Copies of this chain bind each other. A is one copy, B any other.
Amino acid sequence: MVASTAMEPSANAASSVPVRFETHPSRYQHWKLSFDGAVARLVMDVAEDAPLRPGYALKLNSYDLGVDIELADAVQRLRFEHPEVRSVVVTSGKDKIFCAGANIYMLGSSTHGFKVNFCKFTNETRLALEEACRESGQHYLAALNGVASGGGYELALACEEILLADDGNSAVSFPETPLLAVLPGTGGLTRLVDKRKVRRDLADVFCTLAEGVRGKRAQDYGLVDRVVPKSRFGEVVLERAAALAGATPDRAGPGVALPPLEVKRWEEGERLGADYRWVSLVVNRSTRVAEITVLAPDEPPPETPAALRRAGGELWALRAFRELDDALLDLRFNHPEAGLVLYRTRGDAGQVRAHDEALARMKDDWFAHEVLLAMKRVLKRLDLTARSAFALVEAGSCFAGSLFELTLAADRTYMLDGGDGEAAFVALSSLNFGALPMSNGLTRLETRFLGAPGRVAELAGRTGFMEAEEAREAGLVTFTPDGMDWEDEVRLAVEERVSLSPDALTGMEQNLRFAGPETLETKIFARLSAWQNWIFQRPNAVGERGALTMYGRPERPEFDWRRT
């Protein structure tokens, strides 16, 4: 038997054409976004002949990363650019099919790392959609006007309500296990039993029925909220969309446009990089170390909601964190070999805190609220990025408040003990105490101090800038070398880190980063994704005769029957 990696596409297959994550509704190829007052319609109509990379056709509204990048963009823009929208109908533009899920040929021809990162991104998008329902009053309604299978049904599961047309054809299904020997890896199994609380024996039956379940049985099992006769489907969808929209208070317009990030990319020998307005990314291909530097704002924050709105998409917090998000995705998909990220900051820490406090003060303004939610999502993306992360707190850095979260998200922090000369400082702001929780529902400070919860309350009183010794004693940083030792100590730590097995580090970090309570979110990333990653390595799925590899061929897959 030949295992997956023996036939895995070359290291460069994924990175030869870099994936870019910026898009705009005017350029969507696969979704149509339209508006009718408080109700938006997001219609999936995948262009079969426009895959992200050549080699497969996106038949039957199946999707690849390119389709999901547009969905992520739509979910984000709806929140900022269309505050008047209070419900979003997700439906299909194709006849008889809602969505066939992730494209199998795309999966079959992708590297292990790409598959894992693709699933992670689609999971993040669906969690953002659920967050929009919960936090932004934008309620998603899945209107299944055809078959929703695999990732198609998982998309529906992320919506707040699911309507299924009762037409003898429309069905929901998870054919992954029976047909492909993999798992529904985009949160489906978790949402089935934990979000919808479907009885586990019924879930077991459903997940092994390739053809899925339709009509009344789908409703009885709890797989959908309601089945609706085809003749009344459109009407009921509108009714339910209006009802969901009615439940939400208005958010005063106009919306805030999200401008392009205008990144300058460069390449110089072994180093390549991306310069944004507030963020820069440098990847060294020979050392496999990446550096992300975030600059502090250079002006005081807007002090009123009106001024905040005028700053709009150029507001430091929004733009800087959108840039950071783009850099993280660039790293994940285009630089898989960069194993360690060094986080640096530069600028006036006082300005960072001023911007944080302005947002905290105005948090009841919907736009400020959305900015905070966007920052939260980006920091979660960082927590979930499978790269080691060290924060380097040097003289001239500005790890304060929201940027201090970078050190808390990092696996460890080195802070220069500069003595009288070049001192480095860290500082907290209101945002460290609740607005930017992790996937486990706790703040990063709470997670850090699970063993000494009193510390968090005590830190809330420390409003000053802290030098290295104070920060170390407060448990906020890991190591505090002085100027003499700094360079050697950091260099050795970096060299040592990048010498370790990338897989062992990924597993170790994912286990150490999320102590404390579990949530739907941590369950999806920690349990479901880990099992999915395992299965994506198994010969029964991806081997020469594995089910994923053999899909669409006349021969049947061959299994090694041993259970583990």
Interface residues of A, Cβ cutoff 8 Å to B: 1-6, 11, 111-113, 116-117, 176-178, 180-183, 189-190, 192-194, 196-205, 207-208, 222, 288, 336-339, 386-387, 410-413, 447-452, 475, 478, 496-497, 500-513, 515-518, 522-523, 526-528, 530-535, 537-541, 543, 547, 557, 559-564
Contacts and interface: CB of A to CB of B under 8 A. Distances in A.
Given A202-B478, A523-B518, A511 B528 contact: yes
Contacts of A509: 204
A502 to B, nearest CB: 5
Given A193-B511, A501-B541, 19 more contacts: A1-B5, A1-B6, A3-B3, A5-B543, A117-B564, A176-B504, A183-B507, A183-B511, A194-B450, A200-B447, A200-B513, A201-B410, A205-B412, A207-B508, A501-B557, A503-B541, A506-B563, A518-B518, A530-B534
B2 A6 contact: yes
Nearest to A183: B507
Contacts of A528: 511
A511 B531 contact: yes
Contact of A502 (B337, B500, B559): B559
B563 A201 contact: no
Closest 8 CB pairs of A and B: A197-B451, A3-B3, A181-B501, A518-B518, A530-B530, A193-B515, A507-B531, A189-B511
Contacts of A562: 11, 111, 113, 336-337, 502
Contacts of A182: 504
A207 B512 contact: yes
Chain B CB within 10 Å, residue with most, of A6, A202, A387, A530: A530
Nearest to A537: B537
Contact of A531 (B337, B500, B510): B510
A510 B285 CA distance: 39
Given A411-B204, A523-B518, A504 B564 contact: no
Contacts of A4: 3
A503 B560 CA distance: 9
Given A478-B205, A530-B527, A504 B183 contact: yes
A305 to B, nearest CB: 37
B564 A112 contact: yes
A120 to B, nearest CB: 9
Contacts of A177: 500-501, 504-505, 508
23 contacts: A2-B6, A178-B500, A181-B500, A183-B507, A193-B511, A194-B515, A196-B451, A200-B448, A200-B512, A200-B515, A201-B411, A201-B413, A204-B509, A205-B478, A208-B497, A338-B563, A501-B557, A502-B564, A503-B564, A504-B541, A506-B563, A507-B534, A511-B527
Contacts of A500: 177-178, 181, 208
Contacts of A511: 183, 189-190, 193, 527-528, 531
A338 B561 CA distance: 8
Nearest to A475: B199
Contacts of A189: 508, 511-512
A206 to B, nearest CB: 10
B506 A547 contact: no
B197 A515 contact: yes
A500 B559 CA distance: 9
Contacts of A503: 181, 534-535, 538, 540-541, 564
A523 B386 CA distance: 19
Chain B CB within 10 Å, residue with most, of A113, A207, A412, A507: A507
A551 to B, nearest CB: 12
Nearest to A288: B561
A563 B509 CA distance: 12
Nearest to A519: B518
A504 B540 contact: yes
